């Protein structure tokens, strides 16, 4: 739906970047925000299509800095078209595509192909991430300058951490000259060989090899010291362990350029979900145990870890929420736990799941929204050429998300737009749902259908 103008009427407008939290009308002209009115208008001005947001919340479009779109090379798992359709349904107007494609996003030609596919088929904005090393093999740095010129927003070897400390040092130095971050996957592989889930009583009960917190925290500590050495810019992906938080907090106290993210599943699920009882623990091992939809890297941790990452997100030690949306084919999950691929498909459930933190009073609604809009917008600012993301103000891009915080719904994977239907939330009830997503002044999700921008 594209018109001369859109008037979003009757909603509670929350934009933490502008300290806005009030009833107001949002006026859109073309692809820009025209005005956030001081008071709500009784009706839309002439020439505007109306979006009724009564009893709903209006925010900047959500931003996800960690998404797996799989294309090119693994289109049976996800495509840019299906992944961005899922993003639109979840309220995301900007997503950053991780480089573990085939071929790997380690050169300008592949980046150009991804951007062309996004231009032709995407429902929302796609920003590519380049690989740190050629082929993500951890042996030789990719041509970061070429990748930066091609349009990447940062560099990551994704699920393959940069284990060689000297190579990581070089990467931080190289990237710092480009003003872009190294987005490392903090995992010491020597501590996780054969590991399947979080180390602890649940793993012992299930007979699965455990994955210690220190596999993550030791890599975070190493990376922080390399930032101190190089002056580089580091972003730690999907923090899950309470020990990692201490290192990140100390890095910020030292004034180092270190940021971090946490996923919806590490904020809301624990390792008891591997028992297949939606987080309940009956004390035994039932027929639903070894739920492969819970297998993720890093693994789901304990309640103590969950409480720690929530607190760190609340106080700003962890900067933002990122989905780590990782779709797989059904055959990658319908197998033994040991054989199953790591990953949860969650673009469509991400916001509703973390909204539970607001409903439980663990996070205020403005803080939660800030961590999904303004914070990732700041993270991307150096790479987007001055384009303001995660903000609602006159003249900014018209990327808007509207959600009903109180509506309850049941997660049905068969109804998802993503090709990855695997989620541990299948059959659970969530409270809160995105009803409208507007990207660049176009309604790309209206609660019933996704519109392509291609």
Residues involved in catalysis: 324
Which residues have CB under 8 Å from 84's CB, separation 6+? 69, 95, 118, 121, 122, 123, 124, 126
For 218, the enclosing helix (H) or strand (E) is helix 214-230
d(CA 435, CA 401): 8
Decide if 236 contacts 249 (C-beta within 8 A): no
Range 191-194, long-range pairs (CB < 8 A, 24+ positions): 191/215, 191/218
Range 227-253 burial, b when 16+ CB lie within 10 A, else e: beebebbbbbbbbbbbbbbbbbbebbe
Q: What is the 3-state secondary structure (H, E, C) of 234-260?
A: EEECCCCCHHHHHHHHHHHHCCCCEEE
Of the candidates 307, 329, 301, 105, which has an alpha carbon nearest to the alpha carbon of residue 217?
301
Please measure the distance between the N-terminal and C-terminal CA atoms of the chain and give it in whole angstroms: 14
């Amino acid at each position: 739906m594209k018109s001369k103008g859109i008037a979003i009427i009757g909603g509670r407008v929350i934009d933490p970047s502008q300290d806005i939290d009030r009833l107001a009308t949002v006026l859109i002209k073309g692809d820009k925000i025209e005005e956030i009115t001081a008071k709500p208008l009784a009706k839309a001005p002439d020439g505007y299509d109306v979006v009724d947001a009564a009893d709903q919340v209006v925010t900047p479009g959500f931003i996800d800095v960690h998404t797996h779109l799989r294309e090119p090379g693994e289109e049976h798992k996800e495509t840019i078209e299906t992944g961005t359709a899922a993003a639109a349904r979840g309220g995301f107007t900007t997503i950053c595509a991780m480089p573990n494609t085939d071929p790997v996003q380690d050169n300008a030609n592949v980046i150009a192909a991804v951007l062309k596919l996004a231009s032709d088929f995407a429902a929302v904005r796609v920003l590519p991430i380049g690989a740190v090393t050629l082929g993500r093999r951890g042996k030789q740095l990719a041509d970061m300058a070429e990748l930066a010129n091609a349009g990447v927003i940062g560099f990551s070897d994704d699920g393959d951490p940069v284990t060689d400390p000297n190579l990581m040092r070089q990467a931080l130095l190289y990237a710092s000259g480009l003003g872009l971050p190294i987005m490392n996957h903090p995992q010491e592989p020597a501590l996780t060989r054969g590991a399947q889930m979080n180390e602890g009583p649940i793993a012992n009960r299930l007979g699965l090899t455990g994955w210690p917190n220190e596999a993550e925290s030791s890599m975070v500590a190493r990376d922080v010291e390399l930032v101190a050495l190089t002056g580089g810019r580091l972003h730690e992906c999907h923090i899950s362990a309470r020990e990692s938080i201490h290192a990140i907090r100390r890095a910020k106290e030292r004034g180092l350029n270190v940021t971090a993210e946490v996923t919806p599943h590490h904020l809301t699920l624990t390792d008891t979900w591997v028992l297949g009882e939606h987080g309940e623990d009956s004390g035994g091992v039932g027929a639903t145990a070894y739920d492969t939809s819970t297998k993720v890297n890093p693994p789901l941790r304990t309640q103590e870890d969950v409480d720690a990452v929530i607190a760190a997100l609340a106080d700003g030690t962890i900067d933002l929420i990122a989905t780590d949306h990782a779709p797989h084919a059904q055959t990658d999950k319908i197998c033994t736990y040991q054989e199953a691929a790591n990953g949860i498909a969650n673009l469509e459930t991400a916001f509703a799941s973390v909204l539970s933190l607001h409903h439980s009073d663990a996070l205020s609604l403005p803080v939660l929204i800030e961590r999904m809009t303004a914070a990732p917008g700041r993270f991307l600012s150096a790479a987007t050429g001055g384009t303001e993301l995660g903000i609602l103000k006159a003249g900014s891009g018209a990327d808007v998300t509207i959600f009903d915080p109180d509506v309850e719904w049941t997660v049905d994977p068969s109804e998802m737009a993503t090709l990855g239907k695997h989620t541990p939330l299948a059959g659970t009830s969530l409270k809160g749902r995105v009803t409208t997503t507007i990207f660049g002044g176009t309604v790309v999700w209206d609660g019933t259908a996704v519109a392509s921008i291609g």
